[in-house]
Amino acid sequence: MRGIPTVLITVSPEVSAQMRPPRALYPKGFGVGNSTGRPGMRELQRAVVRDALLLLTENTRPGEVVTREYPDYGEQYEPPRVKAGR
């Protein structure tokens, strides 16, 4: 069986971590519906996608979500939490 390397961009790191993705980037403070940034912010979108793809070439720990900060995004959001008891 041949696998396909993947990398996830998540704005819900706690929820995504439950699924133990092989590689994942959390752009800190990005809101749900803004995986790569806000509309029209192409340079920011490029930076986020570049960083996500670069995780493919780094020694990341499988299942770990890597957090990076992108101040250009502006107002920050609290990510969704995993409900207690689950």
Partner 1 sequence: MTTLSRKCVPFTPFDGELSKATVAIVTSGGVHLKEQEPFNIADDLGDLTFRIIPEDADSSELMVTHHHYNHTDADRDINVVFPLDVLRDLKEEGFIRELARKHVGYMGYTMQLKAMYEGTAPEIANEIDRGSRADVVLLTGG
- Looking at the DSSP bridge assignments, the partners of residue 26 are 67
Q: Which residue of 26, 27, 29, 36 would you call a contact of partner 1, by CB under 8 A? A: 36
Q: Which of 51, 54, 66, 77 binds partner 1 (CB under 8 A)?
A: 54
* C-alpha span between 77 and 59 (Å, rounded): 28
Interface with partner 1 (CB under 8 A), residue from 26, 57, 68, 82: 57
Q: What are the backbone dihedrals phi and psi of residue 80, each rounded to the nearest 5 degrees, phi first?
A: -60, 145
Q: What three-state secondary structure class fits 57?
A: helix
User: Is 53 a binder of partner 1 (CB under 8 A)?
Assistant: yes
Q: How far, in Å, CA of 77 to CA of 48, rounded?
A: 17
- Least spacing, CB of residue 66 vs partner 1, in Å: 14
Residues that bind partner 1 (CB under 8 A): 1-12, 16, 20-23, 32-40, 42, 45-46, 49-50, 52-54, 56-57, 62-63
